[in-house]
Amino acid sequence: MSFTIRCHATFEAAHHLRDYVGGPEPVHGHSWKVEVALTTRSLGLYDLSVDFVPAERLVKELAARLHDRDINTVPPFDEKNPTAENIALFFAHEVERSGLLKDGARLVEVTVWEGPRNSVTYRPD
């Protein structure tokens, strides 16, 4: 038996890849969406697997760091390319650092959409 919860947030932000097909990419914007999936094998307090309230709050707070920004100016993206892959890793690492994962809960995946059609999913090993 296992349970998986999913929380998502959206944000508007610009970015560009510093080294893309031989040179920097032009700055452009996207309507981004991020979905974080957490799982646990049992129910905890109040018969919840993972409480939606703090999980959703965290995902929205992380998205707010990027909202209406040029992602290239926000650490760690001031030094690494703000690809959808690296943004997924950013969310994953911040979730893992947050203290949200307790009582056997673990991160299953983070999916980042660059607009309505293109997405990448990160799954920790």
Q: Which DSSP string do the residues of 92-123 spell out, in sequence order?
A: HHHHHHTT---TT-EEEEEEEEETTTEEEEE-
Global pTM value = 0.93
Return the domain boundaries, the chain.
Answer: 3-122
pLDDT tens, residue by residue, 84-123: 999 999 999 999 999 888 888 999 999 999 999 999 999 9
Tell me the three-class secondary structure of 37-91, residue by residue.
Answer: EEEECCCCHHHCCCCHHHHHHHHHHHHHHHCCEEHHHCCCCCCCCCCHHHHHHHH
Please give the CATH number for the structural domain made up of 3-122.
3.30.479.10
Q: Are strands 3-15 and 118-122 parallel, antiparallel or unpaired?
A: unpaired
